[in-house]
Amino acid sequence: MPEQLLHATHKWKNLFKSATTSLLKNRMRSLLTALGIIIGVGAVIVMVSIGQGVRANIQGRISSMGANLLTVSPVRAMTGGVSQQATRNTLKPEDAEALRAQVQELEAVSAVTQSRQQVVSRNGNWNTTIQGGDPSYFDIRNWTLDTGRTFNESEVRGRAKVAVIGQTVVTQLFPNQNPIGQQIRIGTVPFTVIGTLEEKGSGFGGNQDDVVIAPWSTVLYRLSGERYLQSINVSAASPDVMAVAEARIQSVMRVQHGLQTGQADDFEVQNQADLLETASSVTQTLTLFLGAIAGISLLVGGIGIMNIMLVSVTERTREIGIRLAVGARGSDVLEQFLVEAVMLSLAGGILGMGIGVGLAALVTNLMGMPLVISPLVLLIAAGFSGAVGVFFGYYPARKAAALDPIEALRYE
Amino acid sequence: MSHPIPHTDVIRTERLERVYPGAEPVHALRGIDLRIQRGEFVAIMGASGSGKSTLMNILGCLDTPTKGEYWLDGVAVSGLSRDERADLRSRKLGFVFQGFNLLARTNTLDNVLLPLLYDRKRRIADPEASARRVLDRVGLGDRLDHEPSQLSGGQQQRVAIARALVNDPTLILADEPTGNLDTRTSVEVMALFQELNAEGATILLVTHELDIARYCSRAVELRDGLIIHDAPIANRRDAAADLTMLQGNTGLGAVHSSIFSSHA
Ligand SMILES: Nc1ncnc2c1ncn2[C@@H]1O[C@H](COP(=O)(O)OP(=O)(O)OP(=O)(O)O)[C@@H](O)[C@H]1O
Ligand SMILES: [Mg+2]
């Protein structure tokens, strides 16, 4: 019936108006009360946005690296059920050779090693990661050359002191110069710059342009002085042969390492899906942790609202008496205080969303990740803060509704 | 608004009793039989503690009697629920209190609109127009935006009277409406009540001042929860005339004769 509809809108308009008036009468108090909700909702938005940003970033990276990438790495030794730091002493350069020779399903194989070193040019000094690989490493990891050339097989065999450098390193070491052909010193070893990489931008795990790539043999034997590889990157010929390739790699590696039947693998083969899972399990732990913080601050915020609403009911006892005397039912008073509590928490929620989105934008920007704000999350956050208002506002509102009009009118 | 059954009493009670329970129960009302007709202007008088406020609370549907029957405008109130009594207050009653009881930091117009927030049946089609009309009626049509703290006591009480009128009530209940006002302002308020009464309003007013009761048309006196006198006012005074007198600085002039007519 339109008449009833008109009455309902009229009523809600009035409820809304009186709640706003009453909250604005105590601006500071309202703001402080809503603070818990603001922080809670803000935390939820930040954590969800960052979590989603990380996922989107990892997915983006995986598709840019190609779905065919497989990584062979040393397995973590287990002692009494406790996972130890990765032992780097199982992958030998010969393992990479063997895979290249024996697994037909592979398109490319690259030994991988890393070393953190100080890099010095005539004009600069920079601490960065030196990555060692085979010539195929550039293809496998989706590096594109900007200028110069990459190193070749014979340079790998000869442990040649040649390096390809990323754009950050170019800026640091060769401001306004052409780096090709220039000498740099990595640690104590002099290298010649033979190429520069195209800019890749930063991503999860840091700036991808802050890198020096050299033959793995040079990095392993001349720089870090080790004998074992960090990992072996391979790319399968096509996505269809991934499973077969994984199985072949496993059997070749077992033979290489002389493992008997019944003995566990001392290496593991991971595909991109596995890596994604690892990464998202990390973000999930983070999400859970931040979620707990958000939950606690919403709870505390809710209790704050309940507290202030109880104070408000006492302060406004006489007003409640007047309303009851002029014809308000208990339910009218209940609605009034409930609307006020919900408006308080909802306003806090919306403010928290604004702050959360702002913070998330800042953080993702700093981390070089895309900002992902899903409307569903905003909707859930709004719903949640409203629900907090209903839940914690109900008790004070019911107390107000149950007041005796005569006593309330006499209240000083 | 037209009234459905013109000859029904606005108020009718039968052996109304109210006992406040406790270690020593207080018999505040001990059998009140009262009939008030449409258009009457009744003063309820009596010493402090005689039960005036208790009676007003029951007649105002804010409280329920321990025993006895009460009909308000033909509706039996005794058996009604809390919500039904709230609806009855909204439909049929207007309250004026000693302490004004306006909402603080709320302007005149919104204070007067308050009862219409709870006008569930939408008896008043245009709340705002009604509020403006009654505020004009009490002479505050130019003070719509003022808050109670910006008004004098007399003006605040007139806002309260406007609030009591806005829902077009069958009965106006006023508990010591002049208790917080000086003589002159009291007479002004009584003049307003007399005008409203002349226009047909039924008014029930609690006071312990003879001077105030003299402006009414009938006085009911309580003592210890019982009616001991109930009679028309013999020499009823005209508040408007007294006001002119006060303006002339003459003073009210004591009237020594009994307020009750001799044959009561
Ligand atoms: N809530 C209550 N609980 C217990 N006793 C009460 C209560 N209210 C009133 N009484 C008692 O009932 C009696 C009548 O009180 P009531 O307030 O009706 O008197 P009154 O005529 O209005 O007095 P006054 O002129 O002082 O306002 C008094 O004895 C009072 O003490
Ligand atoms: Mg009293």
Taking only the tens of pLDDT, chain A with its 412 residues reads 567 777 778 788 888 888 898 888 889 999 999 998 998 899 888 888 887 777 777 777 666 666 688 889 887 655 555 555 555 578 889 999 999 999 988 889 999 999 999 999 998 899 999 999 999 999 888 888 999 999 999 999 999 999 999 999 999 999 888 999 999 999 999 999 999 999 876 555 567 789 999 999 999 999 988 889 999 999 888 878 888 999 999 999 999 988 888 888 888 888 877 777 777 777 777 778 877 888 888 888 999 999 999 999 999 999 999 999 999 999 999 999 999 999 999 999 999 999 999 998 998 888 777 788 888 888 988 898 999 999 999 999 999 999 999 999 998 8
Write down the pLDDT at residue B154: 94
Q: How far is CA B80 from CA A202, A401, B64, B169, in A?
A: 74, 18, 9, 19
Residues of B in contact with A329 (CB under 8 A): 82-83, 86-87, 118
- Give A317 to chain B, closest Cα distance, Å: 11
Q: Is the residue at B181 inside a domain? A: yes
Nearest Cα residue to atom 28 of ligand 1: B49
What is the number of structural domains in chain B?
A: 1
Structure-block tokens of residue B62: 């804010």
Q: Is the residue at B205 inside a domain? A: yes
Q: Is the residue at B213 inside a domain? A: yes
Establish if B176 touches chain A: CB-CB under 8 angstroms: no
- Structural Rg of chain B based on CA atoms: 18
User: A377: which residues sit within 8 A by CB, 6+ positions away?
Assistant: A44, A45, A48, A49
Segments forming the whole domain that contains residue B219: 39-61+81-263
Structure-block tokens of residue B162: 């406007």
B87's enclosing H/E stretch is: helix B82-92
Listed as ranges, residues in chain B with pLDDT below 70 are 1-7, 249-264
Structure-block tokens of residue A178: 């052409």
Owner of token pair 């996972």: A83
Q: Is B222 helix (H, G, I), strand (E, B) or coil?
A: strand
Contact between B98 and B175 (Cβ < 8 Å)? yes
Residue of B60, B103, B122 with shortest CB distance to A7: B122
B191's enclosing H/E stretch is: helix B183-198
- Give A38 to chain B, closest Cα distance, Å: 28
Instruction: Choose which residue among B53, B59, B220 to substitute to test ligand 1 binding: the one with the highest number of ligand atoms within 8 A of its C-beta.
Output: B53
Partners of A235 in the beta sheet? A69, A108
3-state secondary structure labels for all residues of chain A: CHHHHHHHHHHHHHHHHHHHHHHHHCHHHHHHHHHHHHHHHHHHHHHHHHHHHHHHHHHHHHHHHCCCEEEEEECCCEECCEECCCCCCCCCHHHHHHHHHHCCCEEEEEEEEEEEEEEECCCCEEEEEEEEECCCHHHHCCCCEEEECCCCHHHHHCCCCEEEECHHHHHHHCCCCCCCCCEEEECCEEEEEEEEECCCCEECCEECCCEEEEEHHHHHHHHHCCCCCCEEEEEECCHHHHHHHHHHHHHHHHHHCCCCCCCCCCEEEEEHHHHHHHHHHHHHHHHHHHHHHHHHHHHHHHHHHHHHHHHHHHHCHHHHHHHHHCCCCHHHHHHHHHHHHHHHHHHHHHHHHHHHHHHHHHHHHHCCCCCCCCHHHHHHHHHHHHHHHHHHHHHHHHHHHCCCHHHHHHCC
- Give B185 to chain A, closest Cα distance, Å: 23
| Residues A327-380 pLDDT 10s | 999 999 999 999 999 999 999 999 999 999 999 899 888 877 778 888 888 898
Q: Is the residue at B66 inside a domain? A: no
Residues of A in contact with B82 (CB under 8 A): 329-330
Supply the CATH number for residue B119's domain.
3.40.50.300
Residues of B in contact with A406 (CB under 8 A): 57, 62-63
Residues of A in contact with B93 (CB under 8 A): 327
Contact between B227 and B33 (Cβ < 8 Å)? yes
Nearest to B7 by CA among B73, B94, B78: B73
Q: How many CA atoms lie within 13 A of A181 on its CB side?
A: 2
CA distance B162 to B177: 13
Q: Which atom of ligand 1 lies nearest, measured to the CA of B46?
A: 21
Contact between B98 and B177 (Cβ < 8 Å)? yes
Nearest to A218 by CA among A181, A187, A179: A187
Owner of token pair 């009186």: A18
Cα A171 from chain centre: 28
Q: Which amino acid is at A139?
A: D
Structure-block tokens of residue A205: 């795990």
Owner of token pair 């109900």: A394
Torsion sign across C-alpha atoms B31, B33, B36, B42:
negative
Q: Is the residue at B116 inside a domain? A: yes
Tell me if A322 and B101 make a contact (CB, 8 A cut-off).
Answer: yes
CA angle, residues A355, A357, A361, in degrees to nearest 5: 115
Give distance in angstroms: CA of A311 to centre of ligand 2. Answer: 29
- Give B240 to chain A, closest Cα distance, Å: 29
Nearest to B106 by CA among B86, B71, B76, B131: B131
Write down the pLDDT at residue B6: 46
* ipTM here: 0.91
Contact between A117 and A128 (Cβ < 8 Å)? yes
User: What residue in B sits closest to A333 (Cα-Cα)?
Assistant: B118
Nearest to A128 by CA among A73, A161, A167: A167
Q: Which residues line ligand 1 (CB under 6 A)?
A: B 20, 26, 28, 46, 48-54, 208
| Residues A28-54 pLDDT 10s | 999 999 998 998 899 888 888 887 777
Residue of A25, A318, A323 with shortest CB distance to B114: A323
CA distance B65 to A137: 95
Interface test with A, best of B117, B122, B172 (most A CBs within 10 A): B117
Instruction: Choose which residue among B24, B54, B178, B212 to substitute to test ligand 1 binding: the one with the highest number of ligand atoms within 8 A of its C-beta.
Output: B54
Q: Is the residue at B195 inside a domain? A: yes
Q: How far is CA A297 from CA A51, A290, A393, in A?
A: 20, 11, 16
Contact between A43 and A294 (Cβ < 8 Å)? yes
Q: Is the residue at B2 inside a domain? A: no
CA distance A366 to A362: 6
Q: Which atom of ligand 1 lies nearest, measured to the CA of A406?
A: 1
Tell me if B87 and A21 make a contact (CB, 8 A cut-off).
Answer: no
Contact between A135 and A156 (Cβ < 8 Å)? yes
CA distance A132 to A405: 83
Residue of A322, A327, A329 with shortest CB distance to B103: A322
Q: Is the residue at B222 inside a domain? A: yes
Owner of token pair 């290249």: A100
